[in-house]
Amino acid sequence: MTLAHFLDGLRCSTCGALNTLWLDTVRAFTTCRECRQTALNVTDVADERRTV
């Protein structure tokens, strides 16, 4: 089991590199392996759609 997941087909908004983004689900951030830019991932639990 890996702690980070490769995000295929996405570009870094800072450097524009394709296929260099990794999602770290434990630390809740995304990192570009090219320029080392990071972004915090925020999940809005109240926005989830629930079926009854």
The answer, yes or no, to whether residue 52 has pLDDT greater than 60, is no
CA distance 12 to 21: 7
Q: Dump the DSSP string for 2-41.
A: -SEEE-TT-B-TTT--BS-EEEETTTTEEEETTT--EEE-
Please, what is the average pLDDT of the chain?
86
- Chain centroid offset of residue 44 CA: 15
Report angle CA 26, 13, 48 to the nearest 5 degrees: 50
Q: What is the pLDDT of residues 11-24, one digit of tens each?
A: 999 999 999 999 99
